Structure 1
Amino acid sequence: MTLPPQLAELTQGLDVRSASRVHGGDIAVAYRLDTPDGPLFAKTHPSPTNDLFAREAAGLRALRRHVPGTLRVPQVLRESRNGLVLEWIEEGGRRTGATEAELGSGLAALHRTTNDTFGGLAGDASGYLGSVPVDLTPSTDWPDFYVQRRVAPLVERAIAEGSLDPAARGLLDRLAPRAAQLCGPETTPALVHGDLWGGNRFVDRDGTNWLIDPACHWAVREVDLAMMQLFGGFGPECYTAYDQAFALADGWRERVPWYQLTPLLVHAILFGGGYGDAALRAMQRYA
């Protein structure tokens, strides 16, 4: 059996009997690998950077260390510049009120993992959202970090690529002086998944929740809750259980569009379409 070059390098030495393409998100090329010891999951990227998969692997390991026993995260079995090999997840479980509540309380437990600074894991100064590079230089000033190191560079890149109206630059200039008010009272750096939309959460056949494809960093926990609401996929029991376990600061729902700016801008850069207009509307809401 002949494997694609990137997959062949990644799986060198593994007894791979067959490899079949599976859905792996909008960016990665994903495979099911059948081996004598059972199936494995592999993902590669057409044009990987030197540390794209290293950052993802670090995020997966951080989640595995800190999620409660009610949540699962796939084990990293192999990593290279070209991709990752992870344990296989047997999807097919039904999402119920119980699975949603378990996810909410589990996520609240994860968010109790804290740090002295915002930014990258282990002090890393850079990372990725999807395949878009982001500045994660450690900082103790969350409003400045969010506006100047996260939103502003993404606005400039989206404008440069023609996926965002240049009027966004002026809007951000008006919003930046109010960053402390707009970001809310939360001041504790928490370990966040960083890309928690519905497609990055699975329920297996035993009804256990799994978290995949993280963009882990230290941030205020509202960023995960905002991302979860961008595309839906999480039941009301999830938010109720989260709030009961670890209540968010007053007014957090009003800040959801503010914290959705980052994923909207990333999607505008990667996919174009209406994401740039949605980001502009989110900014106009607070102007």
Structure 2
Amino acid sequence: MNTVKLTKILGEEPLSMSSVGGGCIADSQIIATRSGKKYFLKQGFSNGMFEKEANGLRELASADVIRVPEVIHTSKDCLIIEYIKNGSKKKDFFEYFGHKLALLHQRTAEGYGFFEDNFIGSTPQINLASEEEKNNWPLFYWNKRILYQFRLAEKNGYADKTLTSLISKLESVLEDILSAGAEPPALLHGDLWGGNYMVDESGSPVLIDPAVYYGHREADLAMTKLFGGFSEDFYRAYQQTYPLKAGASEREPAYLLYHVLNHLNLFGSGYYGQAIQLLRKLTKK
């Protein structure tokens, strides 16, 4: 983005722009202005991804529970948000984080899904649902999450006989698995792993890079465990604030499966074995 356009958006001239490493999708930069303010710029795509991310950040911010970067500007090909300086975790960081996530999940909607589709990583995430799906979590989760990812796996050449057979068996049991934990649609970050939160100057959590929708809160918690999990203090505080229904651990593989299938489609066959393992656990085969 050129200096003239940035000046018009920010209301002052940029003094410097420095690239930020660590991201695997967007080109990210920190903008410093003459007044001393800083902003975070993401660009590099023109598929509407940044507009979807902005809407997700706004939805999370509207709950007024966990800090989220303020959206300054968004367009089809860029996103400018509040720059938040990295800090160090305060002593009770994970306890505080777990408590706050539990409060976030108490923000509910009338139906499952979201007012628009968005992205999970760089994969489209389908949130627009039929009236039946809006009121039926197992149906929504099957159609918009598992089946959608499986169809992508077919296109990408990963759906061999074993994966196809297990997915077919899962379809026949998924409703029974998920129905036992029925709850109202909760506001979800959607992609909550260690890389999608940061620590601010006060040592508190900040949610970034969301894939927001309204779904079952156990789906958010499952994602936190995909790459080793958060501190035990996090889960203990969550449970104390908003206890999970019985059987949550048995439903967890179903929620992990969505993300593992997505990683299979994004990053390749290294995730195939994990997908098969989860499917066998769910189908007892």
TM, length-normalised to structure 1: 0.89
Match of 2:208 in 1: 212
SS of the equivalent of 2:55 reads helix
**Deviation string for 1:112-143 (max 9, x for gaps)?**
011111011xx32x221112112212321110
- Structure 2: distance between partners of 1:194 and 1:220: 10
Residue correspondences, number: 274
Match of 1:119 in 2: 113
Instruction: Choose from 81, 100, 108 the match for 1:86.
Output: 81
- Structure 2: distance between partners of 1:18 and 1:75: 21
Match of 2:56 in 1: 59
Match of 2:150 in 1: 155
Contact 2:20–2:29 (CA under 8 A) maintained in structure 1: yes
Alignment CA distance shift 1:85-1:102 (3 Å): same
Residue pairs, 1:1-287, within 5 angstroms: 6=1, 11=6, 13=8, 14=10, 15-36=13-34, 37-45=36-44, 47-49=45-47, 51-68=48-65, 71-94=66-89, 96=91, 98-120=92-114, 123-124=115-116, 126-138=117-129, 139-183=134-178, 184-232=180-228, 234-287=230-283
Q: Which amino acid aligns with 1:60?
A: L
Shift of 1:209: 0.9
Shift of 1:205: 2.9
How many percent identity over aligned positions? 35
Point out where structure 1 has 5 or more consecutive residues left out of the alignment: 1-5
Contact 1:192–1:218 (CA under 8 A) maintained in structure 2: yes
Match of 1:3 in 2: none
Q: Which amino acid aligns with 1:28?
A: A
- Structure 1: distance between partners of 2:173 and 2:273: 22
Contact 1:164–1:268 (CA under 8 A) maintained in structure 2: no
Q: Which amino acid aligns with 1:175?
A: L
Shift of 1:281: 1.5
Alignment CA distance shift 1:40-1:54 (3 Å): same
Q: Which amino acid aligns with 2:250?
A: E
SS of the equivalent of 1:281 reads helix
Q: Which amino acid aligns with 1:181?
A: D
SS of the equivalent of 2:228 reads coil
Alignment CA distance shift 1:7-1:280 (3 Å): farther
Contact 1:91–1:202 (CA under 8 A) maintained in structure 2: yes
TM, length-normalised to structure 2: 0.90
- Structure 1: distance between partners of 2:6 and 2:149: 35
Q: Which amino acid aligns with 2:20?
A: V
- Structure 1: distance between partners of 2:104 and 2:4: 34
Shift of 1:27: 1.1
Deviates more, 1:257-266 or 1:163-172: 163-172
SS of the equivalent of 1:117 reads coil
